[in-house]
Amino acid sequence: MLKDKEFLQSLNRFILASQSPRRADLLKFIIKDFTIQVSESEEIIDPRLNSQQLVMELAKEKALEVSLNNKDAYVLGFDTLVILDGQPLGKPKDKKDAFNMLKSLSGRSHLVVTGCAIIKGDYVDKFSDEAVVTFNKVTDEEINEYLETGEPFDKAGAYGIQGYGARYIKEIKGDYYSVMGMPLQKLYNKLRRL
């Protein structure tokens, strides 16, 4: 087994199939050199799949699309869902939608599930991780103040735990990085075994 430093320097070519700057920043903790190619695959929600299956399948579709033109690289795809009362909350469509999402999360706990897929040629590995996040009670004024930051509009559930949204988080049970969109420890252990 290679030492961690040798392992990081010996990695094959990797591609991150995501436009998320948060995921790119997190991946730098594991992989020194990688490129980014944004997947254009359409996210189709299959109601027959549970949350874990769904995020893994969506992550796989994103990675697969990029992998088709990059057979010699390991392609990493991700997908994150915020689940409240058994229903997924995606990225808000507009300001009103973001407000309603945040209002529904106020003072309650919800599940965040992140799926990952690693694909190279015929090699496919999928896995997921999850965390339970509890919000403090948030007033309408606080929600509107948060919306003015612009942060909620490109994030599932309309909040970023690593940004201004952190001030509304009461508790996290599970992997913080999975809430950010990348199950860092699980991914690192998977890549070590490639």
Nearest to 11 by CA among 37, 30, 36, 38: 30
Please identify which of the residues 79, 85, 94, 125 carries the catalytic annotation: 79
Q: Give me the DSSP letters along 53-77.
A: HHHHHHHHHHHHHHHTT-TTSEEEE
Nearest to 153 by CA among 103, 80, 93: 93
List CB contacts of 76: < 8 A, sequence separation 6 or more.
14, 15, 16, 17, 18, 27, 63, 116, 117, 118, 187
* Residue 79: active-site member: yes
CA 7 to chain CA centroid, Å, is 25
Positions marked active-site: 79
